[in-house]
Chain A
Amino acid sequence: MKYGRKSLHDKIVFYSLAIPAIIIALILLLLLLTQTSLSIPIFNVQGVTSTYISTTWRPSYEPPPTGAWYGLLPAIWGTLTSAIIAVLLALPLSLSVVIFVEEILPRRFREYISAIIDLMAGMPTILFGIWGLSFLGPILQAYVMTPLHEYLGFIPVFSCKPLAPATVLTAGVLLSLMIFPFMVVVIQETYRAIPITYKEAGWSLGLTMYEYVKLNMSMISPAIVSAILLGFGRASSETAAVTLVVGNAYNIGFCILSPAYTISSLIANQFTESGDFPYMQNALFAGGLILLIIGLIVNTIGIIILRRLRF
């Protein structure tokens, strides 16, 4: 009798906790379902492959394929290039911060640096955006992009003249500042987990600081790969700040000194009006779908790699 009552009580507890948990679990499923089902109409008229590999973006009141055409490749390209630039720049920054905090800075100052890293990680992204638009962009145009084009213009990535402060490079640089704090956290946590005996073994061999750090970093290389992937995921999904500094021009090319669109900035800029044109909103949902898929794949791999690393 008593056992039966207790188990009824346990059941009630179970369900009242399970329902909120199920609600959360459903959000991702709902996200996938909505993005997919609202993408299907555009796939039906344009085909999946040609929607993603076409470079033409031609809104029209006439439905595709004869009137309008919505090819997403330039936006996908812009997302990939800006995120790759961001990761390439953020990696040396985050490695340096980890080495600086763990090996160079006196112990009592460490907390301050972690506080600053936390502060950056949580900062509303629009604040990065407004700073990037009015300070970083013009500075980069005058002192970085113009010289790069003048002296290294023979390299394809610098071949176009930087006509505006908002370019793929500007977005990449701003994104690198936004994602490196996350990469620091991932790398630092694993760096701290290296057993002290391993580290002492390094010192006892009489290694210099450079050799010692190189040895430690090689031990946690999976964490670095994971940080790269998670940083890339963050960079590709950022919206508000990127929309302000990427220039929003439907370009595709290897030159990073020209304005471009990313998937998220395309959605941010065109979604509200897209309801007026047949199939345009569906095309933007197709963009959202590929963004979701890229994000899920990159993050899942990143987390799996990180979890496998054990000392």
Chain B
Amino acid sequence: MPNWRSLKSNVFIVLVVILALIAIAPVFHIIIYITLRGLPVILEAGIEFFISTPAAVIAEKPGGIAPAIVGTLFMTTMATIIAVPIAVLAATFSAEYPNHIITKAVRATSRSLLEVATILVGMLVFALIVLPLGRFTGLAGAIALAIVMIPYVYTYTELALLSVPKTYIEAGYSIGLKKAQVIYLVTLRIARRGVMRGVTIGVAKAMGETAPLLFTAFGARNVIFGGPLEPMDAIPLMIFQFIQTGFENWNKLAWGGAFVLLVLYLTLFIISRRIVREVRV
């Protein structure tokens, strides 16, 4: 007599394994596919790809994506400079005063911001900065990215700070350190890897964002860097705009840009994993 229970269970196991593999396979395909389409573009264009502006759509060579690379570096750096101090100080507040009403408000906000559509952040910055200034600017893009980055840095920092053993903090106070000294010399020191991890993940997130930049930085194809108060390009923005055109040259640039973005992302991802491993040791 066949054992229906174990047969059912075996079918179930096979199904689970197949579905799990189906779920995990696409990420490898995405990485390989982007590499196969993007890397040849970069190899063909050579250094041009990184230092020149996109060529005309009918030109023989596609040119480069220097405005997008410079824009991404500039806006991500600016966003980090804006977001990290605010997020780290706010997380310190939450860890120091865990039951304060402000802590509850900032926790709820941060959780919501992690989930809110990032295009809404773009609309907010458009309404508050682009409209009054009357123009799209790289600075507005950076502020939008900072808002995207803040909840990641905040969440990881708060987690790291809360995991600092209370005995270390008490030891700090017992040798006569003041609150600010305890926070700076003890708590943040011990938690610094957690903070770094949050920053790395936040940077990876901000760097890959498209939607918040659409109506803030807007994009600029022909100027490599026009200053923070001019429209600015970014790699994801360039990919988004160029892949939707029918021009072969611009499609090539989009694929090359996608490969660059992929490499940047994988680098940050590996760094963030390294940081965790070192914490455990």
Q: Please give the residue numbers on chain A whose beta carbons come within 8 Å of chain B beta carbons, in ascending order.
A: 6, 9-10, 12-14, 16-25, 27-31, 34-35, 38, 92-94, 96-97, 99-101, 104, 113, 115-120, 122-131, 133-135, 177, 180, 208-211, 213, 230, 233-234, 236-240, 243-244, 264, 267-268, 271-272, 284-285, 288, 291-292, 295-296, 299-300, 303
Contact = CB atoms under 8 A, between A and B. Distances in A.
B179 A100 contact: no
Contacts of A34: 123-124, 127-128
B136 to A, nearest CB: 9
Interface residues of B, number: 86
Contact of B93 (A21, A97, A104): A21
B271 to A, nearest CB: 12
Contacts of A115: 273
Interface stretch (B42-50, B53-61, B222-230, B239-247): B239-247
Interface string B21-47: 011101101100110010000000000
B89 A244 contact: no
B92 to A, nearest CB: 5
A194 B218 CA distance: 48
Contacts of A268: 119, 211, 214
Given A23-B90, A99-B16, A127-B262, A234 B115 contact: yes
Interface in B177-207: 178-180, 183, 201, 204-205, 207
A18 to B, nearest CB: 6
Given A93-B23, A119-B269, A128-B30, A18 B113 contact: no
Contacts of A96: 15-20, 23
A115 B270 CA distance: 10
21 contacts: A9-B179, A14-B97, A20-B85, A20-B87, A20-B93, A24-B150, A25-B105, A92-B19, A96-B15, A97-B24, A123-B30, A127-B265, A129-B210, A135-B33, A180-B23, A213-B12, A237-B115, A239-B119, A239-B210, A243-B240, A296-B112
A41 B46 CA distance: 52
B86 to A, nearest CB: 4
A126 B209 CA distance: 8
Contacts of B126: 271
B117 A119 contact: no
Contact of A25 (B27, B109, B269): B109
Q: Tell me whether chain B's interface is mostly helix, strand or loop, or mixed.
A: helix
A208 B23 contact: no
Contacts of A213: 12
Nearest to A9: B178
Contacts of B269: 118-119, 122
B20 A97 contact: yes
B82 to A, nearest CB: 10
A95 to B, nearest CB: 8
Contacts of A239: 117-119, 210-211
A21 B90 contact: yes
A130 B256 CA distance: 12
Contacts of B19: 92-93, 96-97
Contacts of B243: 129-130, 133-134, 244
B208 A126 contact: yes
Contacts of B178: 6, 9
Nearest to A94: B23
A56 B119 CA distance: 23
